[in-house]
């Protein structure tokens, strides 16, 4: 493990944070991470992060759920144990499909929702018993923290962050895993 120096700039207002992010990015500095107590609308775009592809996986999981529902209902209600329910013959799936729509909808939503939660946690590396990576507990309450790596530009960064409205600036040694 190597250690490197990072600056932790703390802000108390999300609007001040947004303008600070835009200013820091305009000055061509790389923001490592931002910790916020709540989602800040537009922060991902201001940081220049790529859009998420999780919606694509959600659609795929929904399609898997729909397929499981169709195959399951066809097997159970048509092939394995056909029954005459309310005068509806069970000779083909298509004849009975209108009655199966609620089940198809529910399994589509079930698969998409549950598999998306699992995917999100795995993608975010948030598994049970994982140690929290929050550098300052105040960011879970009412403070915002911007983390920027220092590359022989500490004084310049400190002055820039003070100008942008940072209420506190700390220099921290951060361990890096390779």
How many domains in the chain? 2
If asked whether residues 66 and 115 sit together in one domain, one would say yes
- Structure confidence at residue 77 (pLDDT): 87
Query: pTM above 0.85?
Result: no
Per-residue pLDDT tens listing for the chain (178 residues): 567 889 999 999 999 999 999 999 998 899 999 999 999 999 999 998 888 888 999 999 999 999 999 999 999 988 888 877 777 767 788 888 888 899 999 999 999 999 999 999 998 888 888 888 888 889 989 999 999 988 888 888 899 999 999 999 988 888 766 5
- Structure confidence at residue 152 (pLDDT): 85
* CB-facing half-sphere around the CA of 36: CA atoms within 13 A: 16
Note whether residue 64 is domain-resident.
yes
Give the length of the chain: 178
Note whether residue 45 is domain-resident.
no
Please return the burial class of 76, using the count of CB atoms within 10 Å of its CB with bins 0-12, 13-18 and 19+.
exposed
Quote the domain boundaries for residue 80.
54-123
If asked whether residues 11 and 69 sit together in one domain, one would say no
If asked whether residues 100 and 72 sit together in one domain, one would say yes
- Structure confidence at residue 176 (pLDDT): 67
* CB-facing half-sphere around the CA of 69: CA atoms within 13 A: 21
If asked whether residues 154 and 117 sit together in one domain, one would say no
Note whether residue 44 is domain-resident.
no
Note whether residue 43 is domain-resident.
no
CATH number of the domain encompassing residue 12: 3.30.70.1150
Give the Cα separation of 96 and 83 in Å (integer). Answer: 11
Note whether residue 132 is domain-resident.
no
If asked whether residues 68 and 113 sit together in one domain, one would say yes
If asked whether residues 24 and 64 sit together in one domain, one would say no
């Amino acid at each position: 493990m190597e250690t490197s120096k990072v600056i932790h700039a703390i802000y108390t207002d999300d609007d001040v944070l947004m303008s600070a992010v835009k200013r820091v990015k305009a000055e061509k500095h790389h923001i490592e991470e931002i910790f916020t107590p709540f989602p800040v609308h537009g922060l991902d775009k201001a940081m220049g992060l790529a859009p998420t592809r999780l919606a694509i996986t959600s659609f795929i999981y929904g399609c898997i759920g729909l397929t499981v529902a169709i195959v399951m209902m066809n097997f159970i209600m048509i092939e394995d144990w056909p029954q005459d329910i309310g005068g509806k013959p069970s000779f083909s799936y298509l004849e009975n499909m209108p009655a199966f729509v609620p089940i198809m909808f529910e399994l589509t939503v079930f698969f998409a929702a549950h598999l998306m939660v699992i995917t999100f946690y795995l993608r975010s590396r948030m598994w049970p018993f994982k140690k929290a990576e929050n550098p300052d507990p105040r960011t879970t309450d009412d403070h915002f923290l911007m983390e920027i790596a220092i590359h022989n530009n500490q004084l310049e960064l400190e002055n820039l962050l003070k100008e942008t409205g940072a209420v506190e600036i700390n220099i921290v040694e951060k361990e890096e895993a390779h």
